Copies of this chain bind each other. A is one copy, B any other.
Amino acid sequence: MTATLLEIGKQARQAARGLALASSAQKNKALKAMAAHIRNNAAAITTANQNDLVAAQAKDLKSSFIDRLTLNEARIEAMAKGLEEIADLNDPVGRVQEKWTRPNGMEISRVAVPIGVIGIIYESRPNVTADAGALCLKSGNAAILRGGSDGFASSQAIITCLQAGLKDAGLDVNCIQMIPTTDRESVGAMLTSLNGTIDLIVPRGGKNLVARVQSEARVPVFSHLEGICHVYVDKAADLEMARAIVLNAKMRRTGVCGSAETILVDRAKPENLKPIIRTLIDAGCEIRGDAESMAADAAVKPASEADWSTEYLDAIVSVKMVDGVEGAIQHIAKYGSQHTDSIVTSEQKIAEKFLSEVDSAIVLHNASTQFADGGEFGFGAEIGIATGKMHARGPVGVEQLTTFKYQIRGNGQIRP
């Protein structure tokens, strides 16, 4: 590991100690100052972004990649506004999560505290620089950011604004640092904790990035590899509600992790199949189905075994008939990704079975899978969605970026 990387880790650890004790007012002052600096330096950010874009365009990258890399006036304003919104969230640090008194009079409180130092590894999306840095700051954690090489100049221009905001509020500028190189070795060093200074890694990006992080990280990771989300339409579903939910779950935005990839229909009510398929086809969705779905509508293409575990992130969906809620639960256990799954039914008992037996971070009854989002949960901004079972599951907002300690207040208690 280079001396620079080691130094960044040490500085982050030290900054984290001070930041853990910073007041809400001080952190919010920093966030608002960052927003002002971003607005005031929109020209410099745009120039840096232009440099990144020129270099990227020369590489003949995908248009979706170029789009994510691009900053314009509206996006820079959205970034500044995002920082102000994070300032407006409740401070998660110091919240007393539980409190009880022991028979001997000791009072035990479980109090939220920051995790420490969080490493964010992301692709060439400059807005993540502001967004992730701010969420870490709000939750009292120092951040070490390592963005994609194609967005390096843009991210640097943004970091300058963030650090200026920290300075304005009297906070250590090392609360948010950026890795100054874009070589792959720095990612490896972060995944092995930068010599014990990184407590948690959050990858933000596509499946390849997340897979590398998950397989190489020697520190905890909050992530989801993919969202193979299901909507199961039970025999007792209200058909109109089912159509609306299926349409929304698949087509509202097809590129988000909470979009549905497979629709399961109860074999006990085969007449539901055609209207559901038609609703999707009419909205421009390609259907890949099992034999029964193909029989229901001539536009349905055949699904292969691989389709049941494919995250299309596109206007494509797989459709299958299953034997009731039990069949749906089994299909999801086999092919799902423990992300978000929904049941549409009017029978409470069937809904409760689904909610309790499907082993996913988020399970819904009579609602769209696209609610898998920190904002929709009321968490404010989120740094991502986690499908692991440890610590954070589902949307990861500022509260999920904290851990806790037990504070015990006594008056001389000793243990018998």
Which residue of B has the minimal Cβ distance to A376? B415
**Known A-B contacts A108-B377, A377-B108; A370 and B405 likewise in contact (beta carbons under 8 Å):** no
The complex places the Cα of A407 from the Cα of B355 at a distance, in Å, of 6
**A321-364 interface with B by 8 A CB criterion:** 333, 351, 355-357, 359-364
**Binary per-residue interface labels of chain A (9-38) against chain B in the complex, 1 for a CB within 8 Å, 0 otherwise:** 000000001001100000000000000000
The complex places the Cα of A249 from the Cα of B408 at a distance, in Å, of 15
Which residue of B has the minimal Cβ distance to A246? B414
The segment from A74-82, A149-157, A388-396 found at the interface with B is: A388-396
- Report whether A252 and B405 are in contact in the complex, using a CB–CB cutoff of 8 Å: no
The segment from A127-135, A166-174, A237-245, A287-295 found at the interface with B is: A237-245
Most buried by B among A238, A361, A412: A412
Chain B residue numbers with a CB within 8 Å of A199 are 389
The complex places the Cα of A301 from the Cα of B370 at a distance, in Å, of 67
- Report whether A405 and B393 are in contact in the complex, using a CB–CB cutoff of 8 Å: yes
Query: A361's contact among B200, B252, B389, B405, by CB below 8 Å, is which?
Result: B405
Which residue of B has the minimal Cβ distance to A258? B415
**Known A-B contacts A371-B106, A390-B390, A391-B390; A362 and B408 likewise in contact (beta carbons under 8 Å):** yes
- Report whether A244 and B359 are in contact in the complex, using a CB–CB cutoff of 8 Å: no
- Report whether B20 and A408 are in contact in the complex, using a CB–CB cutoff of 8 Å: no
Query: A406's contact among B116, B361, B407, B413, by CB below 8 Å, is which?
Result: B361
Question: Is A404 at the interface (CB under 8 A from chain B)?
Answer: yes
Question: Is A220 at the interface (CB under 8 A from chain B)?
Answer: yes
- Report whether B366 and A410 are in contact in the complex, using a CB–CB cutoff of 8 Å: yes
Identify the 6 closest CB pairs spanning chains A and B, nearest first: A367-B410, A248-B414, A370-B415, A391-B391, A364-B408, A367-B413
Question: Is A70 at the interface (CB under 8 A from chain B)?
Answer: no
Interface, chain A (partner B; CB < 8 A): 17, 20-21, 100, 102, 106, 108, 113, 115-116, 199-200, 220, 238, 241, 244-245, 247-249, 252, 333, 351, 355-357, 359-368, 370-371, 373, 376-378, 389-391, 393-394, 403-415
Which residue of B has the minimal Cβ distance to A408? B364
> Can you give 27 A-B contacts (C-beta < 8 A)?
A21-B356, A102-B378, A113-B359, A115-B390, A220-B390, A241-B412, A247-B414, A249-B414, A351-B409, A355-B409, A356-B407, A360-B405, A361-B406, A362-B405, A362-B408, A364-B410, A366-B410, A366-B413, A367-B413, A367-B414, A368-B414, A370-B414, A376-B415, A390-B391, A390-B403, A393-B404, A394-B405
The complex places the Cα of A197 from the Cα of B368 at a distance, in Å, of 31
The complex places the Cα of A363 from the Cα of B106 at a distance, in Å, of 12
- Report whether B368 and A413 are in contact in the complex, using a CB–CB cutoff of 8 Å: yes
Q: How many copies does the complex hold?
A: 2
The complex places the Cα of A409 from the Cα of B352 at a distance, in Å, of 10
Known: A365-B407, A365-B409, A367-B413. 4 other contacts (CB 8 A): A108-B378, A363-B405, A373-B415, A393-B405
Minimum C-beta distance from A185 to chain B (A): 21
Chain B residue numbers with a CB within 8 Å of A371 are 106, 408, 413, 415
- Report whether A368 and B415 are in contact in the complex, using a CB–CB cutoff of 8 Å: yes
- Report whether A21 and B357 are in contact in the complex, using a CB–CB cutoff of 8 Å: yes
Chain B residue numbers with a CB within 8 Å of A415 are 248, 252, 368, 370-371, 373, 376
- Report whether A414 and B245 are in contact in the complex, using a CB–CB cutoff of 8 Å: yes
The complex places the Cα of A220 from the Cα of B241 at a distance, in Å, of 41
- Report whether A102 and B376 are in contact in the complex, using a CB–CB cutoff of 8 Å: yes
Chain B residue numbers with a CB within 8 Å of A376 are 102, 415
Query: A244's contact among B252, B355, B414, by CB below 8 Å, is which?
Result: B414
Which residue of B has the minimal Cβ distance to A222? B390
